[in-house]
């Protein structure tokens, strides 16, 4: 990757160190320390000159109706993809939206991240997408592996036609305002809506949705249900409205892209709790939907104890346990890869030192 592209990522949030195997994959949930309430978003106000300057420098703009904007982005992405005859592989445009949703600008006063991305040509765009997925794999290999249908096409050579369509989708996504939804530092604001569900619905034909039995819950309904969930009446969640129990297991056996759990996480945040103190699991029979769940778990910052299974929860009641076993194996593989990389780097440094020592004096 070129230096220019590496500079692009210097403006993102600091890359976290690879985490160890999360608690649900290693054993029972651990006790959490006391949590403080996250900051609540202010109501959008008319933009001041200072805010206008902030917008030009890369800060996310306030959005009065995030669900509507997410739908508009999904519709625009679907229209652009189909107009360019992108094909039936809808995991490609969804993967582009997902990758862009995983990044945000670190320094609001620094170079505009959106502008840098839009200035890239096709090969640079493909290289950037590969780096986004690779970087997040180091941190959450289990979730990125579950989302592999959204990025495995990047492992192959990308022809000019697809490259052009990918760049067009990225351009449409960013110009329509994706970073105004997912570019916030505060996870409460970043979780205001599900940007992947509308893209998935709009890209799929009505017949395909019916064949999969895929009918996503409207965000407003999900939020209303979250209040019921808090009383333990819908999902398997041991929560009380006044005193949620840290470490409780929140589960959705037909998750779609995770909309109900997004609403549940927001419900917790509004009551001063951190979703990372809870255990989350999602199951969906559709591979793309399960992949979107995995990406959303990162965007919404649900924490280290998240399990996503791609299975029929009716036919396999042990789907979550099976997914936990798969996750353990993926973490072990990640650790092996990192160990080999460290050994290789150490050998190269040793060789360089030996060459310097043994080289004849000039």
Percent of the chain with pLDDT over 70: 72
Q: In sequence order, what are the residues at sequence separation of 6 or more whose Cβ sits closer than 8 angstroms to the Cβ of residue 150?
A: 91, 94, 95, 98, 99, 288, 291, 292, 295
Tokens of 78: 């679907």
Predicted confidence at residue 153, as pLDDT, reads 98
Predicted confidence at residue 348, as pLDDT, reads 86
pLDDT of residue 237 exceeding 90: no
Question: Which residue shows structure tokens 């992947």?
Answer: 196
Residues 287-316, mean pLDDT to the nearest whole number? 97
What is the CA 254 to chain-centroid distance, rounded? 19
Sheet (strand 249-252) strand order: 249-252, 279-284, 306-310
Greatest extent of the chain over all pairs of C-alpha atoms, in Å? 80
Please give the Cα distance from 42 to 36 (Å, whole number). Answer: 18
What is the CA 228 to chain-centroid distance, rounded? 26
Question: Which residue shows structure tokens 């780096």?
Answer: 131
Q: pLDDT tens digit string along 7-20?
A: 444 444 444 456 66
Rg (CA), the chain: 21
219, containing H or E segment: helix 219-229
Residues 341-358, mean pLDDT to the nearest whole number? 84
> How do the domains of the chain map onto residue ranges?
3-17+60-324
pLDDT of residue 300 exceeding 90: yes
pLDDT of residue 33 exceeding 50: no
Which residue would you say has higher pLDDT here, 228 or 293? 293
Q: pLDDT tens digit string along 84-130?
A: 999 999 999 999 999 999 999 988 888 899 999 999 999 999 999 99
Residues 63-76, mean pLDDT to the nearest whole number? 96
Predicted confidence at residue 321, as pLDDT, reads 97
9, containing H or E segment: helix 3-10
Do 196 and 295 form a contact (C-beta atoms < 8 A)?
A: yes
* CA angle, residues 349, 140, 220, in degrees to nearest 5: 150
Alpha-helical regions (H) of 183-218:
187-190, 196-203, 206-212
pLDDT of residue 336 exceeding 80: yes
Please give the Cα distance from 96 to 125 (Å, whole number). Answer: 10
308, containing H or E segment: strand 306-310
Percent of the chain with pLDDT over 90: 63
Q: pLDDT tens digit string along 168-181?
A: 999 999 999 999 99
Do 180 and 63 form a contact (C-beta atoms < 8 A)?
A: yes
pLDDT of residue 313 exceeding 50: yes
Do 190 and 299 form a contact (C-beta atoms < 8 A)?
A: yes
């Amino acid at each position: 990757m070129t230096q220019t592209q590496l500079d692009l990522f210097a403006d993102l949030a600091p890359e976290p160190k690879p985490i160890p195997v999360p608690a649900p994959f290693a054993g029972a949930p651990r006790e959490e320390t006391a949590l403080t309430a996250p900051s609540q978003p202010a109501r959008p106000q008319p933009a001041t000159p200072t805010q206008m300057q902030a917008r030009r420098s890369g800060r996310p703009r306030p959005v009065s109706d995030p669900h509507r904007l997410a739908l508009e982005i999904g519709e625009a992405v679907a229209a652009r993809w189909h107009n360019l005859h992108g094909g039936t592989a809808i995991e490609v445009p969804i993967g582009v939206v997902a990758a862009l949703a995983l990044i945000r600008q670190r320094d609001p006063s620094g170079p505009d991240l959106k502008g840098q991305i839009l200035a890239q040509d096709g090969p640079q765009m493909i290289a950037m997408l590969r780096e986004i997925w690779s970087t997040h794999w180091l941190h959450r290999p289990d979730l990125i592996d579950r989302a592999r249908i959204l990025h495995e096409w990047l492992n192959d050579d990308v022809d000019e036609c697809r490259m052009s369509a990918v760049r067009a989708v990225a351009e449409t996504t960013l110009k329509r305002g994706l970073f105004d939804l997912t570019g916030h530092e505060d996870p409460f604001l970043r979780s205001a809506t599900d940007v992947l569900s509308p893209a998935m619905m709009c890209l799929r034909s009505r017949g395909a949705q019916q064949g999969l039995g895929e009918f996503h819950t409207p965000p407003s309904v999900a939020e209303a249900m979250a209040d019921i969930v808090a009383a333990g009446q819908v999902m398997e969640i041991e929560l009380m409205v006044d005193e949620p129990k840290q470490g409780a297991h929140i589960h959705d056996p037909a998750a779609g892209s995770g909309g109900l759990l997004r609403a549940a996480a927001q419900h917790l945040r509004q009551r001063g709790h951190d979703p990372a103190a809870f255990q989350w699991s999602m199951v969906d029979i559709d591979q793309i939907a399960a992949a979107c769940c995995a990406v959303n778990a990162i965007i919404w910052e649900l924490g280290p104890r998240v399990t996503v299974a791609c299975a029929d929860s009716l036919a396999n009641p042990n789907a979550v346990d099976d997914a936990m076993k798969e996750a353990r194996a993926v973490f072990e593989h990640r650790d092996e890869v990192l160990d080999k990389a460290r050994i290789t780097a150490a050998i190269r440094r040793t060789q360089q030192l030996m060459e310097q020592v043994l080289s004849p004096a000039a």
